[in-house]
Amino acid sequence: MIKLNKITLIGVDLAKKDLEFTFRGPLSGKCDECRIKNVCFNLEPGKRYRIKEVKEQVNPCFVYNKNKVATIEVEELPSTYNVQNGKRLIEGSSIELKSMKCDYLTCPNIEKCNMIHIKPGKKIVITKIAGKIVCPKGYDMREVES
């Protein structure tokens, strides 16, 4: 399925081609009164995006640094997750994401393996097994795309 690029807004100091970011969701407070907030918040919370183009249009903003937002075109990127390898881990299969509850605090993968930013019980369909994760505790982990 082809996904169309979306138009949204981002702080002028962040508006750089090929910048990747995760949209965390709408802000509250000052944004409630903004006349163009629907353009800012038209992305899906938790999804990753890459800036494809920075447009010339700039708008005022009460939240961002420099009080301005740039108009950008973004593409949605595949979501990636770290999961334990097993029999059901094949492309096209549906799995429920589960935290590893790992306590290896200095591991660079701890947030992804412990599903820090994922709602418990989230189900995904694996579109690609991207590769093996090096785990300092010896778990057989894989990075998968959905």
pLDDT in tens, 18-56: 999 988 887 767 788 888 989 989 998 878 899 999 999
pLDDT value of position 45: 84
Pure H helices in the chain:
37-40, 110-113
pLDDT value of position 26: 79
Confidence (pTM) = 0.71
d(CA 72, CA 90): 36
List, for residues 101-139, the tens digit of each pLDDT value: 999 999 999 999 999 878 888 999 999 999 999 999 999
Taking alpha carbons only, the member of 83, 79, 84, 88 closest to residue 127 is 79
d(CA 69, CA 34): 12
CA 79 to chain CA centroid, nearest Å: 6
Give yes or no for a contact between 48 and 77, defined as CB atoms under 8 angstroms apart: yes
* Region 3-28 average pLDDT: 89
Say if residue 95's pLDDT is above 90. yes
**pLDDT band of 62, cuts 50, 70, 90:** confident
Domain boundaries, the chain: 6-77, 80-136
pLDDT value of position 127: 94
Give yes or no for a contact between 40 and 31, defined as CB atoms under 8 angstroms apart: yes
pLDDT value of position 2: 62
Say if residue 1's pLDDT is above 60. no
